[in-house]
Amino acid sequence: MQDLKFWQRKIQALLHDPPNKALNIKDHEAEAQAWAQKLGIGKLNDKDFKPADWIASAADRLNFPSYRSIGGANFRNKPYLTHPLTGKKLNLGGGRFLPTQINEDWLRTAMQTSIDQITDVIKNDKQKLFLWLWCNWSSEIQAAEGNQLGALWDLLPADTRIPDHSIWAHQSLTSAIAATADSKGDPDPAFLLFTIGPVQAFISAARRTQDLWAGSYLLSYLNWQAIQVIAEEIGPDAVIFPNLIGQPLCDRWLQSKGVFTGDIKPEDLILPSLPNRFLAIVPASQGKELAQKAADAVHKKWLEISHAVRDDLEKLFPENQKPQWTATWDRQVKNIFETYWQVYPWRPEGHSIQDKDYKFLDPHKPFLGDRLTKIEEILQIYATHDRNGGGQYHPNIGTIYSDLYFITEKALGSRKALRNFKQVSEQGDKSTLGGDRAALHDLSSELTVKEFWHDFTNILRAKGIYEIQEGGVERLDAIELTKRFAWRSFFKKQEGYDMNSGQNGLTFPSTSSVATATFKRDVIEKLGLPNSQELRDALQAWIHSIPLSIQEQNKIRKNVIPYLSSNALKKG
């Protein structure tokens, strides 16, 4: 658990540049001090954030000559944004997006109004205050009365000389680096690159759209468990990729902390919006510990989900007929996921983060290959005085940010190439879906595997559950059964997800529905045309010809694609 000083340092780093810096560069430092005072932080201490600011600035942008030498975009009178890839300018003023001139008093009032929303409970808890500022400040300013910028608050640049990245991104990176300070107060960051696998095999082992969703969503959800470890320990700003601002699972976590002020839509929570990997900036001394905690969190949550499915299904059996399948189940789910991670320190022991001869590059040279010559050329230009075309500041470790990531990615790739291998014996009839693991069955019963699944699906149907094809045709292993029932047994019952629709709260179109979707769309559109009565009569006759047993199993009326359903209702 981090102490008060840790979160105090992060808040100072987050506040070191006020959100409206681009509109008032001359007085932005004094304004930052003023906001810190209003938030009860006291005077900002340069030692707590300046070194981190230098590193973040070097990582964020080119080391341009000073503002006084080359000028910059005038965001007070002629604001514009620059596309980071094409360099194309987007003029925000002249009445296109903004008034020609911005009323700074109005903007400060909007900022003050947003600060007034913070409760004393949050202000007195520095971790909560940091989280509130990180996730809410921009949206609260945008919602304040008199705000002229609207959503463009999110786009205000960190540097008007090269307005291609936002002030919010720079603040977040600075606070992440500041949090890595060692006992002397010097930043000591490391990259933590973390990944979960297998991906393709886990997702592709699917027969239904429900299986495809579950495979993708479980990987996304499990990666959040790993990311949450980092967010809890050192803050969500430490996660560079994926960006956690606006991520529903992160918002839900922030809501549990009592700091998130927005709305979380149930339909957003079920989106597999996180990849199977993340990149974070962590204190070098804690990198290995955090990585191991993240890996443990993934495996723990996966077993929790799988056991929730098993316990839920066992409750459906009569008391004297509960299957003895635990040994097979535990063996199959135990080692399905592999986690790989790499921690790479930016500043190895005995090296500085900045020096005029850029010796900070030395320990990384053996891993850079052909990139090294180009890097040294760039550093030589940056080290030249800005009056002679060089940068405003001496190069520092942030200058080679992308190269440090290159080394980290390369190291992780090398580790993944040495894949873990454990021989597992799978005896008996194999799953009819994947085929590489044994289908579950009752080890205490004399029934064949097919007979067991025939009886099992009868028990499910008696409860109104149709997730498995009847008659013993579909026979699944523990991983496949977990995917098939994860929504019903875990996310709905234990996590409290509620979609307010369908028998179990979430419906999945069949693969045949997806395959015929364009044909159905065309039929629905033609039904809305004049003289479509003949088509309506034919369609009605076809619906009445469908056996009642198929209709009762939700094959026709319920598990439909929402877009088609809403269009059909509009057409009458």
Q: DSSP secondary-structure letter at 456?
A: H
pLDDT at 522: 87
Q: What is the mean pLDDT of residues 423-451?
A: 88
Per-residue pLDDT band for 45 (boundaries 50, 70, 90) equals confident
Q: Name the residue with tokens 């973390």.
A: 194
Are the CB atoms for 361 and 379 separated by under 8 Å?
A: yes
Q: What is the mean pLDDT of residues 387-401?
A: 81
The span from the CA of 24 to the CA of 74, in Å, is 10
Of 69-73, 159-163, 235-239, 512-516, the least confident: 69-73
Rama region for 461: left / alpha / beta (φ>0; ψ in -120 to 50; rest): alpha
Per-residue pLDDT band for 280 (boundaries 50, 70, 90) equals very high
The span from the CA of 339 to the CA of 417, in Å, is 13
Per-residue pLDDT band for 570 (boundaries 50, 70, 90) equals low
More confident call, 565 vs 60: 60
More confident call, 92 vs 44: 44
Long-range contacts of the stretch 299-304 (C-beta < 8 A, 24+):
299/337, 299/339, 300/225, 301/221, 301/222, 301/225, 302/218, 302/222, 302/333, 302/336, 302/337, 303/333, 303/334, 304/490
More confident call, 384 vs 124: 124
Tokens encoding 326: 């635990």
Tokens encoding 94: 């002249």
Per-residue pLDDT band for 556 (boundaries 50, 70, 90) equals very low
Residue-wise pLDDT tens digits, 414-433:
998 887 777 777 888 999 99
Q: Is the pLDDT of residue 3 over 90?
A: no
More confident call, 411 vs 98: 411
Q: What is the mean pLDDT of residues 261-270?
A: 88
pLDDT at 552: 54
Per-residue pLDDT band for 572 (boundaries 50, 70, 90) equals low
Q: Is the pLDDT of residue 508 over 90?
A: no
Q: What percent of the chain has pLDDT over 70?
A: 90
Per-residue pLDDT band for 565 (boundaries 50, 70, 90) equals confident
Pairing mode, if any, of strands 239-241 and 277-283?
antiparallel
Average pLDDT value over all residues in the chain: 86
Q: Is the pLDDT of residue 252 over 90?
A: yes
Q: What is the mean pLDDT of residues 475-500?
A: 89
Ranges assigned E (strand) in 23-181: 80-82, 89-91
Tokens encoding 345: 């320190």
Residue-wise pLDDT tens digits, 311-344:
999 999 998 889 999 999 999 999 899 999 999 9
Asked whether the bond before 323 is cis by omega within 30 degrees of 0, the reply is no
Per-residue pLDDT band for 101 (boundaries 50, 70, 90) equals low
Closest CA to 229 of 318, 293, 324: 293
Cα–Cα distances (Å) from 408 to 99, 244, 289, in that order, read 46, 21, 17
Are the CB atoms for 293 and 229 separated by under 8 Å?
A: yes
Of 75-84, 251-260, 283-292, 502-511, the least confident: 502-511
Closest CA to 276 of 214, 226, 237: 226
Q: Is the pLDDT of residue 260 over 50?
A: yes
Half-sphere exposure of 460 (CA within 13 A, CB side): 19
Tokens encoding 516: 């015929």
Neighbours of 315 (CB within 10 A): 11
For residue 277, give the H/E element and its range: strand 277-283
Cα–Cα distances (Å) from 281 to 63, 342, 358, 359, 488, in that order, read 22, 12, 22, 22, 36
Per-residue pLDDT band for 557 (boundaries 50, 70, 90) equals very low
Residue-wise pLDDT tens digits, 136-170:
998 888 888 767 777 778 888 888 877 778 999 99
Phi, psi of 239 (to 5 degrees): -85, 110
Classify 101 as helix, strand or coil. Answer: coil
The span from the CA of 458 to the CA of 118, in Å, is 56
Task: Report the first-to-last Cα separation within the chain, whole angstroms.
Answer: 59
The span from the CA of 370 to the CA of 410, in Å, is 14
Q: Nearest 10 degrees: CA dihedral of 547, 548, 552, 553? A: -20
Classify 435 as helix, strand or coil. Answer: coil
Q: Give every strand in the sheet of 277-283, ordered side by side.
A: 239-241, 277-283, 189-197, 338-345
Residue type, 231: A
Are the CB atoms for 554 and 503 separated by under 8 Å?
A: yes
Alpha carbon 432 to its chain centroid, in Å, reads 34
Half-sphere exposure of 93 (CA within 13 A, CB side): 13
Burial class of 254 by CB neighbour count within 10 A (0 to 12, 13 to 18, 19+)? buried
pLDDT at 457: 94
pLDDT at 502: 41
pLDDT at 392: 73
Q: Helices in 74-125 by DSSP H: which ranges? A: 104-115, 120-123
Of 161-170, 476-485, 502-511, 540-549, the least confident: 502-511
Q: What is the mean pLDDT of residues 530-553?
A: 77
Burial class of 161 by CB neighbour count within 10 A (0 to 12, 13 to 18, 19+)? middle
The span from the CA of 237 to the CA of 177, in Å, is 9
Phi, psi of 259 (to 5 degrees): -120, -15
Closest CA to 169 of 118, 231, 107, 244: 244
β-bridge partners, 279: 193, 241
pLDDT at 554: 46
Per-residue pLDDT band for 501 (boundaries 50, 70, 90) equals very low
Q: What is the mean pLDDT of residues 397-413?
A: 95
Neighbours of 519 (CB within 10 A): 9
Are the CB atoms for 167 and 21 separated by under 8 Å?
A: yes
Q: Name the residue with tokens 């960006």.
A: 243
Residue-wise pLDDT tens digits, 208-226:
888 899 999 999 999 999 9
